[in-house]
Amino acid sequence: MKPGTLSTFLARGAIWGFIVLELIFFSIAGQFFSVSDNAFLDPANMLLLLKQSAPIGIIAMGMTIIMINGNIDLSVGATFALAAVVLLDSMTWPFMAAMGDWAIPLAWTFALLTGAVLGAINGLIVWKTGVDAFIVTLGSMLGFRGLVFMYNGEQPTSHLNWTLVDFAEAQFLGLHTATWFLLGVTAVIWVVMHRTIHGRNAYAIGDNREAAINAGIRVGPHMMRNFVLIGFLAALSAVVFYSESGSVNPNDGQLYELWVITAVVLGGTKLTGGSGSVISTLGGVIAIQLLRKGLGHIGADTETVNLVIGLILIAVLFLDRQLNVKGKEALRT
C-alpha cells in the first residue's frame, strides 16, 4: 500500500465512523445523565439536528471547493451577515412592500446577488493582485463587517414575513426546508466538483498548480468562480436562516468562518488543496452539530463543546500527520 492511501481511506471514512461513535456514546451516556426524558436518537431530535446544521453546512460546501482549489476564505461570516441584512431590509423598501409576497423571491435574489458580488470582489483581488487569499479575505472579513454596520448602524435589522416563516418551517417528507437546502447544495456541489470541467480543473489546480498551468488551465477564472460560489452560498445560508428568524444583528455570523473551516478540516479536506470531498464535509458538519447537541443532552455545559471540538481538530491533524509520515523516509529538518 502506498503511503497516504491508508490515510486517504481513513480521511474519507473516518468522519462517518466518528459520527457513529458519537451517536452510540451519547445514546448510552444519555441513559445515565440526560436531563430530559427523550432518547437522544429520537427522530425529531435528529431532524432538528440536520436543520440546525444547515447554516454552517451550506457555507462549508463552498469552503470545501475553495480549499480544494488551494485557497481559504475568512470572510464568509461577514458575507452571511450582509446578505441577511439585505434580505430583511429589502423587504421593507416601499416598492417591495407594495408587492406583497412577490417581494420574497426578489428579496432572495438581492441577498444572493450581494453574496455573489462580495465573493467576486474577493476573487478578483486574489486573482489580479496575487495577494494570498488568507490576507485578502482576512481584510474583507473586516471590510464586509464594516459594510454591515454602515448599512444599518448598530441596530438589528428586522422584518418578519409570515409567508416566509411558514415556508422556512415547513417540512417535506419529514425534512425541514433548511435541511433540503443543505442536501440540495451538497448534491449540486458534488456534481460540480465531480462532473464538470470546472470542478475537475479546480482539483487539478489545488493538487499541482504548476502542472495545471502548463496544461493551459487558467487558474484565475477558476479561483474567481469559486469565490463567487462561496459568496453565493454564504448568502444562501443567510437566506435560509433569516427567512425564519426575521431579525439580524450586525454581529451575526461572527466566527462562522472558524466553524466552517473546522467542519471542512474534520471532513478530511487538505489545507494545501487538491484533495477533499463535499460528502465528507457534510459528515464534518453533522459531527460538530452532534457534538453540540450531544453534550447538551448529557447535561454538560454547552460551553464544553468548544473545548472538545478544538481538541478534536488538533487530534485529527495529529493522526493525519502520523499516518502520512509513516513509511516515508523522513529527513529531520
Partner 1 sequence: MADVSDKRPATSETGREDSKMAGLSKASVGTFLAKQGILVAFVLFIIGFTIANPRFIDPDNVLGVVRSSAILGVMALGVTFVVISGNLDLSVGSMMSFSTIVVLDLHDKIGPALAIPAMFAMTLCLGAFIGFLVGYLRLNSLIVTLGMLSAIHGLTLTYSGGQNMDIADKSGTWFSVFGQGEALGIPVPILMFLALAAALGVILAKTPFGRKVYAVGGNGTAATFSGIRRARVVFACYLISAFCVACAGLIQASRSLGSQNTVGQGMELEVLAAVILGGASLLGGSGTIFKTVIGVLILGFIQNGLLLVGLQFYVQYVVTWIIIILAVWLDIAAKRGRLWSPIA
Partner 2 sequence: MTQPALRLEGIVKTFPGVRALDGVSFDVLPGEVHALMGENGAGKSTLMKVLGGIHQPNEGRILVGETPAVMANPLDAKGKGIVFIHQELSLAEELTVAENIYLGELPKKRWGFVDWETLYERTDRILKTLRVGFDARTRVGTLSIANQQMVEIARALTVDAKAVIFDEPTASLTDAEKVVLFDVIADLKSQGVGIIYISHRMEEIFKITDRISVLRDGQYRGTLNTAETNEDEVTQLMIGRTLDLSRNTSHHQLGEVALEARGLSCRGLFEDISFEVRKGEVVGFYGLVGAGRTEIAETLFGLRSPTAGSIHVHGKEVRIHSPAEAISLGISLVPEDRKSQGLVLGMNCRDNMTLPQVGELSSGPFTAEGAEIAIFEKYREKLDIRTPSWKQTVGNLSGGNQQKIVIGKWLSMNPEVLIVDEPTRGIDVGSKSEIHNLIRELASQGYAVIVISSEMPEVLHVSDRIVAMYSGRIMRTFTSEEVTEDNLIQAISGIEPGKSAEREPVSA
Residues that bind partner 1 (CB under 8 A): 74, 125, 127-132, 134-136, 138-150, 153, 213, 218-220, 223, 254-255, 258, 261-262, 265, 271, 301, 303-314, 317-318, 321, 332-333
The conformational region for residue 130 under phi > 0 = left, psi -120 to 50 = alpha, else beta, is: left
Closest CB to partner 1 among 43 and 130?
130
Query: How far apart are the C-alpha atoms of 276 and 280, rounded to whole Å?
Result: 8
- Judged by beta carbon distances under 5 to 8 A according to partner kind, the member of partner 2, partner 1, none in contact with residue 214 is partner 2
Closest CB to partner 1 among 143 and 296?
143
Look-up of cell digits 491508508 = 6
Residue from 72, 78, 212, 282 touching partner 2 (CB under 8 A): that is: 212
Q: How far is the CB of 236 from partner 2 (least distance, A)?
A: 20
Query: How far apart are the C-alpha atoms of 60 and 56, rounded to whole Å?
Result: 6
Query: How far apart are the C-alpha atoms of 169 and 166, rounded to whole Å?
Result: 5
Site for partner 2 in 267-296 (CB under 8 A): 274-275
Closest CB to partner 1 among 191 and 271?
271
Picking from 220, 236, 228, the residue whose alpha carbon sits closest to that of residue 116 is 228
Cβ atoms within 10 Å of 205's Cβ, excluding its own:
25
Residue from 78, 204, 234, 248 touching partner 2 (CB under 8 A): that is: 204
Closest CB to partner 1 among 70 and 199?
70
Q: Applying CB under 8 A, does 331 fall inside the site for partner 2?
A: yes
Query: How far apart are the C-alpha atoms of 234 and 10, rounded to whole Å?
Result: 29
Residue from 43, 94, 174, 216 touching partner 2 (CB under 8 A): that is: 216
Q: Applying CB under 8 A, does 197 fall inside the site for partner 2?
A: yes
* 126 touches 234 (CB < 8 A): no
Q: How far is the CB of 206 from partner 2 (least distance, A)?
A: 8
**Residue 226 cell numbers, joined:** 469559486
Look-up of cell digits 411558514 = 166
Q: What DSSP state is assigned to residue 156?
A: P
* 62 touches 234 (CB < 8 A): yes
Residues binding partner 2 (CB under 8 A): 2, 4-5, 8, 195-198, 200-201, 203-204, 207-208, 210-212, 214-217, 274-275, 329, 331-333
